[in-house]
Amino acid sequence: MKSKTKGLIVAAFFGVILLTSTLSVAVNNNPKQTQKDQITTTGTPADNFPDDKRAQFCGSGDARSTPYVKEFKIPTDCTQPLAITTDDSGTVYFAQTNTGKIAKFDPNTESFTEYNNPDWPAKGQSMIWGMDYANGDIWYTDDAFDSIWKFSTSDGKYIRVAYPTKENSLPQKIKIIGNSAIINDFNEGKISFYDITQSGQNKTYTNIPTPLPGSFVGGFDVDKNGNIWYTNWLFRQGGALVKFDYNKFSDYVKKGTDQSATVGDFSKVYNFPGSIAAPNGLSIDKNGNVWIADTDKSSFYKFTESDQSFTKYTTSDAPVSTYGNVTGVIKSPITKPYWSQIQGDKLFINEQAANTMAVFDIEKESMVEYLIPSKNSIWADCGAEQDCGIAQVFGFKVVGDTVWFTEWVENNIGKIDLATPLPVTLDVSEKQFTIPRGQSASVDVTINTTVPTQLLARPTSEFSDIIVSAPTGQITGSQTIPINIETSPSALPGTYKIALSARTTDVTVSEFVTVTIQ
């Protein structure tokens, strides 16, 4: 097993380096960092980092909780948990990127079991972005060693399968459908299919190259007809949503005669609007709509194939405690929606830069965002502020009324209890408006809260095409507040969304209003 020359930080942050430009911080000036490059031996995975980097990558505090979120500290230091899933009984499994181990968490006893991987090289480090469970086995990807792995939950044994690569592959997310493991190769621009029933030494893959050569292949999902949808893009340079007919392709391969077909013969390509810059997460709802998270901004989108339309939504503003802005250099903080999952009528998205998990009700067009309590101040512009920063929440898995997640730099896993009653409700008098350019309309927002609450508003229009005037200050009890919505005389005609939000210390509740500008 041969590792690539890329280091952990580079491997980790194809997304994080790319996606944290608004949180650039002079890390070397942090008072926690001293004795540069000195390594004090501890006998733990923390030894993979010099002393002055351990607070940044290994955790800066104890596990914390809110009424809605409970965290659990992993007993081994500096494991850097990432991908996470559950088995049929609800037992939680997650990957440790700094040890190469799979760990188990029993929700009933709140105890951890870590399984040593005898095939993992000493001090090996790899970003394990994707994980799925099927028939007693955990399947997961391995970026650094160009592999996918199978971990048996019954006997704790590992099997490594080499992943096909040319120069710089990055096997990322994985999904098990029947006997097939589907993997996206982010860097090399392909979707791979691997038959998990294969035995023997010579394992084979079917690889589908992207229709747009030279681009990244991001998140993917499978619709009810067996079509594979995936994102295909170059950062801030455009891209497309691809629909690949895998059933038609499989029939073609089985015939084994005419091999003149190209990937375009089995694909439909829908160009992204220019506003989408880094489409990572992708999920398909029960009606066949494709939901896409744009990690470059604070946006997520719904694609409807029947009219080939993209509808833009926005998260609420990032809480100040997540980015700090002590220096004042961050003028437009963004939340960076990353991965997604759909369960029932709910779309789940981790907002990486806002330390938040969003739960969007697809039918009602409402949203609840849960703030993760642990924060690492080195990843934000926090200065001496302690309750500030982000825990780098990437991996998550939704099971019933629980969202399990990992904190990559705080060495925790955690859960969100979706059944816990919220302290605030928000209702709007109208949810759809048509407003000519240069004119305005008003909507009444009724907030009922048991804790101090702040009213926020965020439109999806570019520039100042829509201006929403809302009072500042804290709200308590029950209040009905008029909100003014004004369109610019030079606004571009179109249909836009406005997130009207009520924020408490721990959660933000939003309703979306639709505004059509004529």
Longest dimension (CA), the chain: 72
Question: Would you say 79 and 101 are in contact if contact means Cβ atoms under 8 Å apart?
Answer: yes
pLDDT of res. 407? 98
Q: What is the pLDDT of residue 4?
A: 43
Sequence-distant (≥ 6) Cβ neighbours of residue 347 within 8 angstroms: 283, 285, 291, 300, 340, 341, 358, 359, 360, 362
Please enumerate in sequence order all residues whose Cβ is within 8 A of that of 344, keeping only pairs 6 or more positions apart, or say none: none
Strand-pairing partners, residue 346, are 343, 361
**Residues 128 and 117: beta-carbon distance below 8 Å:** no
Nearest-CA neighbor of 273 among 244, 302, 243? 302
Decide: helix, strand or coil at residue 21.
helix
pTM, whole model, 2 decimals? 0.93
What are the residues whose beta carbons fall under 8 Å from the beta carbon of 203, sequence distance 6 or more? 161, 162, 194
pLDDT digits (tens), the chain, 518 positions: 444 433 333 333 333 334 332 222 222 233 343 446 799 999 999 999 999 999 999 999 999 999 999 999 999 999 999 999 999 999 999 999 999 999 999 999 999 999 999 999 999 999 999 999 999 999 999 999 999 999 999 999 999 999 988 778 999 999 999 999 999 999 999 999 999 999 877 889 999 888 888 899 999 999 999 999 999 999 888 899 999 998 888 888 777 655 566 777 899 999 999 999 999 999 999 999 999 999 999 999 999 999 999 999 999 999 999 999 999 999 999 999 999 999 999 999 999 999 999 999 999 999 999 999 999 999 999 999 989 999 999 999 999 999 999 999 999 999 999 999 999 999 999 999 999 999 999 999 999 999 999 999 999 998 899 999 988 889 999 999 999 999 999 999 999 999 999 999 999 999 999 999 99
Scanning the structure block, which residue is given the tokens 């001090």?
Answer: 123
Q: Give the position of tokens 């990432």.
A: 82
Query: Strand 238-245 to strand 227-234: parallel, antiparallel, or no bridges (unpaired)?
Result: antiparallel
Q: Could you tell me the CA-to-CA distances from 217 to 81, 186, 207 in Å, in that order?
A: 23, 5, 12
Residues 157 and 178: their CA atoms lie apart, in Å, by 22
User: Cα(188)–Cα(186) distance, rounded to whole angstroms?
Assistant: 6
Which token pair is 54?
């351990």
Q: Please tell me whether residue 18 adopts helix, strand or coil conformation.
A: helix
Give the Cα separation of 380 and 148 in Å (integer).
Answer: 33
Cβ pair 250, 258 in contact under 8 A: no
CA 372 → CA 35, 101, 144, 327, distances in Å? 31, 25, 29, 24
Residue pair 324/382 in contact by the 8 Å Cβ criterion: yes
The whole-number pLDDT of residue 261 equals: 67
User: In degrees rounded to 5, what are phi and psi of residue 39?
Assistant: -120, 115
Strand order of the β-sheet with 396-399 is 69-73, 412-417, 402-407, 396-399
Q: Give the CATH H-level superfamily of domain 425-517.
A: Immunoglobulins (2.60.40.10)
Which residues have CB under 8 Å from 28's CB, separation 6+?
A: 36
The domain limits of the chain are: 174-300, 425-517
Cα separation values, 232 from 46, 240, 262, 337, 476, Å: 36, 5, 17, 17, 46
Query: Alpha-carbon distance 384 to 324, whole Å?
Result: 10
pLDDT at 6: 38
> Distances in Å between the alpha carbon of 517 and those of 27, 272, 311?
45, 22, 15
Contact 371, 389 (CB under 8 A): no
| Inter-residue contact 276 to 290 (CB < 8 Å) | no
* Cα–Cα distance for residue pair 6/387, rounded to 1 Å: 33
